[in-house]
Structure 1
Amino acid sequence: MFAAATSFFARTAISQSYNIGGSSSNSGSRSSTPGPAQSPGPSNSTFSGSFTPTVPIGLWKVQSASHKVTNKRVSVWSFDKRSQEMERLGPMAKDRTLEVLKAEASALGRLRHPSILEMVEPLEETRNELIFATEPILASLELAIPSSGRFASLVELDEVEIQKGILQICKGLSFLHSSAQLIHSNICPESIIVNSSGDWKISGLGLTIPLLQPNGTATRWEFPTFDGRVPAYIQRSFDYMAPEYALDEQLVTASDMYSLGCVMYAVHCKGSPPFKTHDSLGGLRECAGRPVPGMDRLDPDLQSLLRALITRHHAGRPTPTLLPSQPFFSSLPISTLSFLDRSTFTAKTREEKISFMKGLAGVLDKFSDGLKTRKILPSLLEEMKDTHLLPYILPNVFAISSALSATQFASLVLPSLKPLFVLKEPPANMLTLLDNLTMLQSKTERGVFRTEVLPLVYNALESEHGMVQERALKTIPDLCDTIDYAEVRDVTYQRVANVFSSTRILTVKVATLATFLSMVKVLDQSTLTQKLVPMLANIRTKQPAVMMATLSVHEAMGAKVDREAVATLVLPQLWAMSMGPLLNVTQFQRFMAVIRQLADRVEKEHNQFLRDSQRIEDMSATAMIGSSSTQAITGSVDFENLVGRGAASSSNTQAPSLEDDPWGSIFNDTNAKPTKLPNPIASPVMASSPPLQAQSLPSSPKPSSHYQPSRLNPSTQSTSFTNSPVQRSNTGFSSVPTLQPTNLATTFQPAIQQQKPNYNISLPTSPPSNGFPPVLGSTSINSLPLMPPMMGNMLTPSKPSQPSWGSSSSKPSKDDWGDFDPLL
């Protein structure tokens, strides 16, 4: 309970309002000076979504944090009073340490300047810790120096970055010296902070020296000492201390410029100061006035500047306001950054801004990606409020955005571009956006592009400027391959069609036809035939450019739509357009070539269609004849027998086809042996037989038991026949099918056997009332079996028929037929 109560009272407003280092509380920490590998927190950088680790700056542990309500990012600085380092200190050293740390935090809250670290939450002190919050930071300069810093990967320190940072520190020192009347007295890499935007900020203000006391008198000089029993962070570093302060007992603002010169040397020399004093006054006295070593490997302009700053006497040192005019800072990138500074750029005239934006594109490659993203891009986005500057700002914005990730682009650039997508004036704005549409599509997600960026194209199509419409139309073919088909069919196509129908500009009309040509491969046949073809039919202009562009669209559609649409919709339009009075010979020949090509396609495909249709009809008729014949014999089809017969037939050898046995099953007799038919030409009987005469076929309610159809052997007999239509009456048949052999002379060989016929047929003598033989078992005359024509007289009995089919119960005998043989 005591521990819980202690933890409750130890909580601060910062720990309650912020999520610190990924947790909701930061109280109770007992760790010593943290290392770089401690728990990571949310990113401080606005431009990167990565996590920044806990950063040790002196005795402070700096962690990333975000506000629980507003999600504002900050860096929380905390000092644990119970750390091991504090345990080793005596009472006076502890008090001195807490005094300097509190003075540092208090000075940050009191001094407000863009080059001084900004405090967000004031210092809070509990029983166990000191805590305050500042703007998001990345690291101290000491930790970011290349080849020496532990956090160098978080900060890009190229030459332009260094020059920019030094100039920012100069501005901060100028504020301290002139406005605050303070001497920092401890400028070193550890007291310079690099924030999340890459700016250099002054910190470590716990050892500042006021030039004047509250009563107006000059501040007394204090002898500098270095106590090894006290943490080095709360003491001035002799390696960066000006000689006049330590040796001449002078309090002057130029001492900070000496320290700044040592910082510049250390940044260019992997963190090593110009002199090693070993934190002693004697070492400082020994090094004072000596030439700075290792200057020969530095840039000549930098050498000249360092010699002016790192001197024994302060009189010749440049002031913070004069330092930017040195040749070292006269490079074009530094001049560009200075001109683009937000504090002064807003005061420039529009003509100066336009000239600057035009020349900026040629200088961007001299900046690092981080510097362009952190420093240049925010200034450009802020200036986009002036629509007259947009045509000159947007090319630079897109050049910088090309190096951004999709996430960075969506969070940084896209919100500023959205209001521009609906602006139609000036037209150069639309043209620039359309020229970079591919980059916009690559930097945004599919859904975001459709809802946020695609309206730019639609608004451009509605522009009053033909150049803007043409540029928008040129972007659509690439969009059709990436956006959803429903969007292309329902929205994009309709927008292009509206432009096609309303424009009176010839180039725009041709551009819309070129767009239609690219959309043919995407749109479905229904849209092409129902929407696009009728719209093209309404073209009234006879300009050759429009005619030839329309021809290309029809040619592409002709290869995609069906033959009927080509024959009835496309070809008529092409014939009509080919008669245009303004076409030359070459253009007319081009029309004729396309017309012939499409006509050949229609002819070929329709011929094939008719052949397929005829084949299907023949197969259907053949199948119907076979099924009808079977039903005529067996009556109704029994499902069980049908299934069983099908299963049995699947296991047996394949049955002869109807083509091999055109007579079907009317002569089916398993006991009969196949008999060769005589040659109708060679046989005198068959040659003299008259053709089949029309006659009424009698029927009976019950077929005769002597009716045993015999199936001809397909291996010995094969022929083809054509049916003549049969008219059916109520009393019978007015005619019977006339079966004409196609080539009986070669099909039927003369093989006349004088034995008795291989089947017995008993016919009734009187037809039934319905006039239809029930033995057929079918209601269609097409189900009648096919028989050769010579069988007409053969089936006529030699004796007259009986008076009635059912008048006698006795069955017809063999004598009733005499010597009748149907094959003779």
Structure 2
Amino acid sequence: MDMFTRLKSAVSHVIPGNPLSRDFDIYGQVASTGPSLMWKVFSAAKKSTKEEASVFLFEKKQIDKHHKRDKEVIIDSLRRGVQQLTKLRHPRILSVIHPLEETREALAFATEPVFSSLANVLGRRDNMGSSPPKFLENFTLFEVEIKHGLLQILEGLGFLHSDAKMIHRNICPSSIVLAKNGTWKLAGCEFVQQAVNVTDQTVNTPPEAQPNLDFMAPEYEITHLCGPASDMFSFGVLMFSLYNQGKPLFENKGDVRAFRNHAEELSSVRGSLLKSIPNELIDHVKLLLNTEPTIRPDAAQMAQIPFFEDMACIALQYIDTLYQRENIEKSNFFKGLPKVIDHLPKRVGQQRILPALFKEGHNPNMVPFVLPSIFTISEQSTQEEYCALVLPDLIPFFKLREPIQITLMFLQNMNLLLSKTPTQQIQTYVFPLIFAALEADNSQIQELCLGIIPTFADLIEYSTLKKSLVPRIKKLCLATTVLKVRVNCLLCLGKLMNQMDKWFVLDEILPFLREIPSREPAVLMSILGIHKVALSEAKLGITKDVMANKVLPFLIPLSIDSNLNLHQFNAYSSVI
């Protein structure tokens, strides 16, 4: 989404010392992440495929203040973190698409597109330069984003603890990134270790090479042993900080002594300290913050608490697993999705749901099921957002002719499309859809199309009206065997006449009426209506000669047609 790949410049620039500049076009910085937020994150695109990506860059000059030994410790830690992240493959762990490369000046690697880091979103702007991205100004996480984000982190922890048999050891906002589609992903793997009798070894190391003390479990200090439960403690502090303006329970500011003191205070944590978090979370967070690791719930248990049993959260979870579902399951889900979207914040619909809907659209049979939700999000969006986020991916759908429900839905939502789509795109993509609808074999589609054409007649260029639209309507009117379609063709032409000039009406419309093969009352009254418009519109200026030689000789025989009732005969007589 263009809205979420901000700060791109027209010409990509090369960052000095970045070894990935050979393979990627690198644009503006979007985030900072990792220990002490030392990694700068830039939006990028792979040169060979134009695929969107993010480039992570660590500039070694950031740590020039340290002694040589400490520099090596910090750089080794960052290298280890990227290598570990590259090995781990899971939907809830940030995906590396280009391995770590190193020069004398920098370390760099590339990942799937990143929107921001959780630390940045919560207010930390370290290593972001003098002008952080504008989208971070007044950025606030919505409740559903927090719930679903926490659930995604629990899934990532469940994979690490149960499948990979590892512990993260640094669960905190700077280790979590928000992917371009808004999903929360675990990163920051500098301190990941196998979960077997792990002994903490952060003594005498620089702060940049240590886990975040504000989120560390007390056993790191008390017993110097840690395990999966230690990550769950960190997760508890993370939950608290999300509802406490990004601030943890205790702020140690990198001071190990302060960490020791606060570790001792944890045994008497009072409920009043947790008043900022929702009531239904307090008891669960208390368990997570217990000094006894065996009392803390594991990731699977936390994922089952009622706090996450929220309709919007469940819907977002389902969207994350669409690739695992059968078409019949997905179609049933999509039928109810518009009602869920109505209750979601606009950004969540645009960022989390829209990309998944368009991805499903690669299967034409699924398009009729995803279009209602796309239209719902389009209604919520401004025209600028619609043009940036919806229209580019909607254009391929305009070209689909099967299944027929696709055309039907576009016609039913034509007012929305015309109000949001720029004039140039209407000419290029919407009009061909309408022309195809007129030529369809389905009378329902034809009737619907004829009914909506007059609503946007003023948007149609006159040359398009004369050369493309009117000829198709005339052809349909003569060829159809369905009375309602023929009548609607005539009504449509009558409503379009105020867009026509005098000579076009005289040469193309009035002579055409003589060719109509049937004489049902509805057809005769529609023919009369067209003549009334021609006579009443001053700009059309039907002359006396035309009336005497062409109009009256045609109307008088029709007025005495046996199919007309008295009221209809009187209508003809008044015009004559």
Paired position in structure 1 for 2:3: none
1:15 aligned to which of 21, 27, 35: 21
Could you tell me how far apart the structure 2 residues matched to 1:201 and 1:226 are? 30
In the alignment, residue 126 of structure 1 is paired with which amino acid? Answer: T
Paired position in structure 2 for 1:581: 562
1:99 aligned to which of 76, 83, 93: 76
Paired position in structure 1 for 2:318: 339
Q: Quote the offset at 1:496 in angstroms.
A: 0.4
Could you tell me how far apart the structure 2 residues matched to 1:56 and 1:338 are? 25
1:274 aligned to which of 249, 264, 273: 249
- Conserved 8 A contact 1:176-1:182: yes
Measured against aligned partners, the alpha-carbon deviations of 1:16-68 in whole angstroms (never above 9, x if no partner) come to 333434xxxxxxxxxxxxxxxxxxx1xxxxxxxxxx55646522233333344
Paired position in structure 2 for 1:726: none
1:295 aligned to which of 263, 274, 277: 274
The answer on 1:176 being equivalent to 2:153 is no
User: How does 1:46-445 map onto structure 2 within 5 Å?
Assistant: 52-53=29-30, 55=32, 58-83=37-62, 86-145=63-122, 152-153=136-137, 156-211=140-195, 218-222=196-200, 224-225=202-203, 230=206, 232-277=207-252, 279=255, 280=257, 281-291=259-269, 292-341=271-320, 344-404=321-381, 409=386, 413-414=390-391, 416-445=393-422
The answer on 1:468 being equivalent to 2:406 is no
* TM-score of the superposed pair, with normalisation by structure 2: 0.87
Could you tell me how far apart the structure 1 residues matched to 2:252 and 2:31 are? 31
- Conserved 8 A contact 1:77-1:133: yes
Could you tell me how far apart the structure 2 residues matched to 1:320 and 1:12 are? 38
Runs of 5+ consecutive residues of structure 2 not aligned to the other structure: 1-13, 127-131
Say which SS state the counterpart of residue 273 (structure 1) adopts: coil
Paired position in structure 1 for 2:474: 497
Q: Quote the offset at 1:238 in angstroms.
A: 2.6
The answer on 1:509 being equivalent to 2:486 is yes
- Conserved 8 A contact 1:458-1:495: yes
Paired position in structure 1 for 2:552: 571
Q: Check 1:540–1:236 CA distance in 2 against 1; reply closer, same or farther (3 A cut).
A: closer
- Conserved 8 A contact 2:243-2:276: no
Say which SS state the counterpart of residue 55 (structure 2) adopts: strand
In the alignment, residue 134 of structure 1 is paired with which amino acid? Answer: T
Q: Check 1:339–1:68 CA distance in 2 against 1; reply closer, same or farther (3 A cut).
A: closer
- Conserved 8 A contact 2:241-2:249: yes
Report how many residues are paired: 545
Could you tell me how far apart the structure 2 residues matched to 1:138 and 1:186 are? 21
Say which SS state the counterpart of residue 322 (structure 1) adopts: helix
- Conserved 8 A contact 2:18-2:107: no
Say which SS state the counterpart of residue 45 (structure 2) adopts: strand
Could you tell me how far apart the structure 1 residues matched to 2:108 and 2:569 are? 87
Q: Check 1:448–1:183 CA distance in 2 against 1; reply closer, same or farther (3 A cut).
A: same
1:590 aligned to which of 558, 571, 576: 571
Q: Check 1:164–1:64 CA distance in 2 against 1; reply closer, same or farther (3 A cut).
A: same
* TM-score of the superposed pair, with normalisation by structure 1: 0.62
Say which SS state the counterpart of residue 431 (structure 1) adopts: helix
In the alignment, residue 585 of structure 1 is paired with which amino acid? Answer: L
Q: Quote the offset at 1:322 in angstroms.
A: 2.8
Say which SS state the counterpart of residue 339 (structure 1) adopts: helix
Say which SS state the counterpart of residue 295 (structure 2) adopts: coil
Paired position in structure 2 for 1:483: 460
State, as a whole percentage, how many aligned pairs show the same letter.
Answer: 32
Give the RMSD, CA atoms, in angstroms.
2.7
The answer on 1:521 being equivalent to 2:527 is no
- Conserved 8 A contact 1:223-1:246: no
Could you tell me how far apart the structure 2 residues matched to 1:338 and 1:376 are? 11
Q: Check 1:194–1:457 CA distance in 2 against 1; reply closer, same or farther (3 A cut).
A: same
In the alignment, residue 524 of structure 2 is paired with which amino acid? Answer: M
Larger radius of gyration: 1
In the alignment, residue 266 of structure 2 is paired with which amino acid? Answer: A
Structure with the bigger RCO (C-alpha within 8 Å, sep 6+) is 2
Could you tell me how far apart the structure 1 residues matched to 2:324 and 2:187 are? 30
Q: Check 1:324–1:222 CA distance in 2 against 1; reply closer, same or farther (3 A cut).
A: closer
In the alignment, residue 236 of structure 1 is paired with which amino acid? Answer: P
Q: Quote the offset at 1:125 in angstroms.
A: 1.9
Measured against aligned partners, the alpha-carbon deviations of 1:681-728 in whole angstroms (never above 9, x if no partner) come to xxxxxxxxxxxxxxxxxxxxxxxxxxxxxxxxxxxxxxxxxxxxxxxx
In the alignment, residue 564 of structure 1 is paired with which amino acid? Answer: D
Q: Check 1:72–1:110 CA distance in 2 against 1; reply closer, same or farther (3 A cut).
A: same
- Conserved 8 A contact 1:354-1:389: yes
In the alignment, residue 221 of structure 2 is paired with which amino acid? Answer: A
- Conserved 8 A contact 2:33-2:177: no
The answer on 1:534 being equivalent to 2:540 is no
Say which SS state the counterpart of residue 204 (structure 1) adopts: coil
In the alignment, residue 331 of structure 1 is paired with which amino acid? Answer: D
Q: Check 1:380–1:67 CA distance in 2 against 1; reply closer, same or farther (3 A cut).
A: closer
- Conserved 8 A contact 2:244-2:276: no
Q: Check 1:69–1:426 CA distance in 2 against 1; reply closer, same or farther (3 A cut).
A: closer
Could you tell me how far apart the structure 2 residues matched to 1:391 and 1:131 are? 43
Q: Which has the higher strand share?
A: 2
